[in-house]
């Protein structure tokens, strides 16, 4: 049961946002359903998983803050900028970890893959730069294209770029894996 709920928790709010945007053609009309769906995702996570992941909590808090600003000012800038801000925060956190020689990705992924210390540092740098790249891409798209193009970029473009990035890291990870 838990495995079938996890994708619902992670992607449900995005699906709700996309549905309401397609239905109305307006970002502002999709924000309140997104905020409700994100809150429900936290409740479902608590009920079925007995915990809320830090990423889900962080994301929902930002959705509630920037969604409220979008509704209050009737301006989609706020929800669009949230994507930039989240990616900048992730990039900055990872770069600070690299600066202090503490690869923070190891804390998140250390149980799933075993890398050398240099591997963790390299992977942390790569993810930091990738998050920075996503922030820049988001800025370019939302400032220069229609809301429809931005919504498609947010849902499909960022996901596609992330899959491509992850795929390109496979060889780096294999090269830096600790042999048991």
Residues 6+ apart with CB under 8 A from 134: 83, 87, 158, 161, 162
Q: What pLDDT does 3 receive? A: 67
For 12-25, what is each residue's pLDDT tens digit?
Answer: 999 999 999 999 99
CA-based radius of gyration for the chain: 18
The residue that leads in pLDDT, 2 or 162, is 162
Query: What would the mean pLDDT of 79-96 be, rounded to a whole number?
Result: 96
Measured CA distances, 37 to 40, 79, 118, 133 (Å): 5, 15, 40, 28
Q: How does residue 2 score in pLDDT terms, banded at 50, 70 and 90?
A: low
Q: What pLDDT does 110 receive? A: 65
Does 112 score more than 80 pLDDT?
no
The residue that leads in pLDDT, 55 or 151, is 151
Query: What would the mean pLDDT of 66-89 be, rounded to a whole number?
Result: 97
């Amino acid at each position: 049961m838990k495995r079938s709920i996890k994708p619902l928790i992670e992607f449900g709010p995005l699906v709700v946002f996309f549905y309401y945007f397609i239905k109305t053609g307006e970002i502002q009309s999709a924000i309140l359903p997104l905020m409700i769906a994100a809150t429900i995702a936290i409740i479902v996570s608590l009920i079925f998983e007995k915990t809320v992941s830090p990423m889900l909590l962080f994301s929902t808090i930002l959705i509630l803050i920037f969604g409220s600003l979008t509704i209050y000012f009737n301006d989609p800038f706020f929800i669009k900028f949230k994507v930039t801000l989240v990616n900048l925060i992730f990039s900055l956190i990872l770069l600070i970890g690299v600066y202090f020689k503490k690869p923070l990705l190891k804390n998140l992924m250390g149980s799933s893959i075993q890398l050398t210390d240099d591997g963790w540092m390299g992977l942390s740098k790569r993810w930091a730069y990738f998050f920075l790249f996503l922030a820049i891409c988001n800025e370019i798209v939302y400032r220069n294209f229609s809301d429809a193009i931005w919504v498609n970029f947010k849902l499909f473009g960022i996901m596609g770029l992330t899959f491509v990035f992850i795929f390109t890291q496979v060889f780096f990870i294999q090269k830096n894996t600790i042999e048991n």
